């Protein structure tokens, strides 16, 4: 484990060595360790064995979750090579798999996402943890649910009767009222996540895709589910996972009195508009992230997938900036995400982007030639990604490392080489590609039937250094 590491590579480098040489040596070390790990286990970046309960991974089915042990191995390699790293940031945090993995190292963790449901899950996964109080709340909660005979429906939104059968809406309302009675905010958040998964499983939405898509009427009529039973079942299971996760972190000295020993901060924000920076100076030592592959609408609809659960949650419990505006339409979160707005693209920025990235220029031209009118969609995403990179480069320290996991996608029958484009964009901002490896995607459920999103079976892990 990292917490027990004895001597780092950097400590072996003589003191008088120059800064530039120092980082070149660290680069070499990273390359050699990545090569060694790949040689020892060809499956290491794909899907190594791990205990899913340790990372609270089954808590809510958030789309495109990363494999925590892959992230942990990568972080471990970089931290062992550079002992000066004290914090990490993930600007596309999702359900905080990377943060959960990073917490085993004890460094400070910062995570941002534009989706309030991601923020909720991340806050629960990263603590504070109230194991005993939760156990106590569980029995009180079950009692309160049983005692509630009210038929009042707690939510009202367009599509309520389309997405929920009346009995399910009544049961969910009783669960909502019982959760509201819990005083402790952290425990309420835990319960909101359990409710989210219950909503996902009991709504009339198909669970086979991330896009909202109602089941056929006959199937809806024949489904006889109990939201209360599902909630109780998932609560009991998740409590066990929660205990395993906290015990694991405690064993390695990373949790004390129910809280992570390092600093952990989660923020609901659009990484395109600016990244939280607690100081005016560049602040972050390491970035580890897996961004979307394209606009949500045609890749993974994280927002639509979160829309129904979010309707039932008291949004201020997630974050003070989580307002009903996020639920203006079923597509609002997706619209706010990278590449979500395709109208009125900034032509000056587009021209500069075409100059910066020859790969993007060729791709853009090829899409125009298909006459499918999809060039704006691709341009909007890459423009947003580029803008996010500008923000990221402002808050990253000199010689900090970045670990990106990204895959290519298809639009109008053409491959969009995201990895190559990302490399060119980062290099244009003074980043250097240190090394790269490929990983197979096994668990990511993608909308494979759609010809535009087909064949996303591999992704690249790219390690960069911001040149000092
Ligand atoms: C591939 S997922 C990350 C999944 C994560 N690694 C996990 O294991 O759960 C990409 C995330 O980027 C977020 N996202 C998209 N556009 C964003 C933006 N402009 N600002 C912040 N987050 C954004 C999405 O909401 C989504 O959660």
Q: Could you report the per-residue pLDDT of 159-188, keeping only the tens digit for each?
A: 999 999 999 999 999 999 999 999 999 999
CA distances from 20 to 12, 82, 141, 248, 465 (A): 16, 13, 58, 38, 12
Kindly state whether residue 292 falls inside one of the protein's structural domains: yes
- Please state the atom number of ligand 1 nearest to the C-alpha of residue 62: 9
Kindly state whether residue 125 falls inside one of the protein's structural domains: no
- Most ligand 1 atoms within 8 A of CB, residue of 337, 404, 407 to mutate: 337
78 and 31 housed in the same domain: yes
Please name every residue paired with 409 in a beta bridge, in sequence order, or none if there are none.
416
Gap from CA of 298 to ligand 1 centroid (Å): 15
Strand extents, DSSP E, 82-222: 87-90, 108-113
Q: Residue whose CA is closest, atom 13 of ligand 1? A: 92
143 and 97 housed in the same domain: no
45 and 112 housed in the same domain: yes
220 and 318 housed in the same domain: no
- The pLDDT value given to residue 9: 52
Q: Residue whose CA is closest, atom 27 of ligand 1? A: 94
Gap from CA of 118 to ligand 1 centroid (Å): 8
Please name every residue paired with 284 in a beta bridge, in sequence order, or none if there are none.
396
- Please state the atom number of ligand 1 nearest to the C-alpha of residue 112: 21
The answer to whether residue 48 scores a pLDDT higher than 80 is: no
Number of domains into which the chain is organized? 2
Kindly state whether residue 254 falls inside one of the protein's structural domains: no
**C-beta neighbour count of 428 within 10 angstroms:** 15
377 and 270 housed in the same domain: yes
- The pLDDT value given to residue 456: 57
**C-beta neighbour count of 424 within 10 angstroms:** 18
- CATH assignment at residue 380: 3.40.50.150
Range of the domain at 167: 131-240
Gap from CA of 95 to ligand 1 centroid (Å): 8
Q: What are phi and psi of 108, to 5 degrees?
A: -70, 140
Q: Could you report the per-residue pLDDT of 391-441, keeping only the tens digit for each?
A: 999 999 999 999 999 999 999 999 999 999 999 999 999 999 999 999 988
Q: Residue whose CA is closest, atom 15 of ligand 1? A: 337
267 and 182 housed in the same domain: no
The residue from 240, 273, 294 where one domain ends is 240
284 and 375 housed in the same domain: yes
- The pLDDT value given to residue 6: 47
269 and 232 housed in the same domain: no
| Rounded CA separation 196/315 (Å) | 12
Kindly state whether residue 370 falls inside one of the protein's structural domains: yes
Q: Which residues contact 265 (CB under 8 A, 6 or more apart)?
A: 109, 110, 111, 276, 278
Kindly state whether residue 282 falls inside one of the protein's structural domains: yes
- Please state the atom number of ligand 1 nearest to the C-alpha of residue 388: 19
Average of per-residue pLDDT values in the chain:
92
The residue with greater pLDDT, 449 or 403, is 403
- The pLDDT value given to residue 448: 43
Gap from CA of 339 to ligand 1 centroid (Å): 12
Q: Residue whose CA is closest, atom 8 of ligand 1? A: 65
Gap from CA of 369 to ligand 1 centroid (Å): 31
165 and 195 housed in the same domain: yes
340 and 455 housed in the same domain: yes
Tokens 């070499």, located at residue: 28
Q: Residue whose CA is closest, atom 7 of ligand 1? A: 65
- Most ligand 1 atoms within 8 A of CB, residue of 56, 62, 75, 92 to mutate: 92
Element (H, E) at 124: helix 116-126
297 and 210 housed in the same domain: no
Kindly state whether residue 10 falls inside one of the protein's structural domains: yes
The residue from 184, 208, 240 where one domain ends is 240
| Rounded CA separation 248/107 (Å) | 16
| Rounded CA separation 383/387 (Å) | 6
- Please state the atom number of ligand 1 nearest to the C-alpha of residue 303: 25
Q: Write out residues with Cβ below 6 Å of ligand 1.
A: 62, 64-66, 92, 94-95, 97-98, 112-115, 118, 270-272, 290-292, 302, 337-338
Please answer whether residues 65 and 96 qualify as being in contact, where contact means their C-beta atoms are separated by less than 8 angstroms: no
pLDDT band of 446, cuts 50, 70, 90: very low
Give yes or no for a cis peptide into 128 (omega within 30° of 0).
yes
218 and 269 housed in the same domain: no
Whose CA is closest to 435, among 194, 117, 78? 78
The answer to whether residue 444 scores a pLDDT higher than 50 is: no
- Please state the atom number of ligand 1 nearest to the C-alpha of residue 289: 6
Lowest mean per-residue pLDDT among 44-53, 122-131, 212-221, 397-406: 44-53
| Rounded CA separation 163/124 (Å) | 27
Q: List, as own/partner pairs, every contact residues 346-353 make where C-beta atoms lie below 8 angstroms and the sequence separation is at least 24, other chains included.
A: 346/383, 349/383, 349/386, 349/387, 350/379, 350/383, 353/379, 353/382, 353/383, 353/386
Kindly state whether residue 256 falls inside one of the protein's structural domains: no
Gap from CA of 210 to ligand 1 centroid (Å): 14
The residue from 240, 275, 303 where one domain ends is 240
Q: Residue 371 region, left (φ>0) first, then alpha (ψ -120 to 50), else beta? A: left
Q: Could you report the per-residue pLDDT of 186-208, keeping only the tens digit for each?
A: 999 999 999 999 999 999 999 99
Kindly state whether residue 121 falls inside one of the protein's structural domains: no
């Amino acid at each position: 484990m990292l917490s027990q590491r004895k001597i780092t590579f950097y400590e072996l480098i003589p003191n008088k060595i120059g800064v530039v040489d120092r980082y070149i040596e660290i680069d070499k070390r990273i390359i050699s360790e990545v090569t060694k790990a790949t040689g020892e286990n060809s499956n290491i970046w794909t899907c190594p064995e791990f205990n899913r309960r340790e990372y609270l991974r089954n808590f809510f089915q958030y789309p495109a979750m990363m494999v925590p042990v892959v992230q942990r191995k990568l972080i471990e390699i970089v931290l062992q090579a550079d002992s000066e790293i004290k914090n990490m940031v993930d600007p596309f945090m999702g359900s905080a798999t990377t943060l959960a993995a990073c917490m085993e190292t004890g460094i400070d963790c910062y995570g941002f996402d534009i989706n309030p449901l991601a923020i909720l899950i991340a806050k629960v996964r990263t603590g504070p943890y109230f194991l005993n109080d939760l156990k106590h709340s569980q029995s009180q909660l079950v009692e309160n649910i049983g005692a509630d005979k009210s038929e009042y429906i707690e939510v009202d939104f367009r599509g309520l009767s389309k997405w929920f059968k009346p009995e399910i809406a009544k049961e969910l309302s009783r669960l909502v009222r019982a959760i509201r009675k819990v005083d402790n905010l952290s425990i309420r958040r835990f319960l909101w996540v359990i409710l989210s998964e219950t909503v996902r499983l009991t709504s009339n939405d198909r669970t086979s895709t991330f896009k909202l898509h109602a089941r056929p009427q006959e199937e809806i009529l024949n489904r006889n589910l109990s939201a209360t039973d599902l909630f109780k079942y998932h609560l009991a299971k998740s409590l066990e996972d929660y205990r395993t996760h906290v015990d694991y972190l405690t064993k390695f000295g990373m949790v004390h009195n129910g809280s992570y020993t390092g600093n952990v901060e989660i923020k609901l924000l659009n990484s395109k508009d600016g990244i939280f920076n607690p100081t005016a100076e560049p602040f972050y030592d390491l970035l580890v992230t897996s961004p979307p592959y394209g606009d949500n609408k045609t890749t993974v609809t994280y927002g639509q997938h979160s829309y129904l659960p979010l309707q039932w949650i008291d949004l201020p419990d997630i974050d003070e900036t989580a307002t009903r505006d996020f639920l203006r339409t079923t597509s609002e979160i997706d619209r706010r995400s990278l590449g979500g707005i395709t109208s009125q693209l900034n032509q000056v920025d587009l021209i500069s982007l075409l100059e910066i990235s020859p790969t993007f220029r060729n791709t853009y031209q090829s899409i125009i030639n298909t006459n499918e009118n999809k060039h704006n969609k691709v341009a909007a995403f890459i423009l947003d990604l580029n803008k996010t990179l500008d923000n990221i480069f402002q808050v990253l320290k000199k010689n900090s490392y970045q670990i990106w996991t990204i895959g290519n996608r298809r639009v109008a029958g053409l491959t969009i080489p995201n990895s190559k484009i990302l490399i060119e964009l980062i290099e244009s901002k003074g980043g250097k590609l240190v090394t790269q490896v490929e990983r197979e995607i096994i668990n990511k459920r993608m909308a494979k039937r759609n010809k535009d999103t087909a064949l996303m079976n591999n992704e690249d892990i790219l390690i960069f250094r911001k040149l000092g």
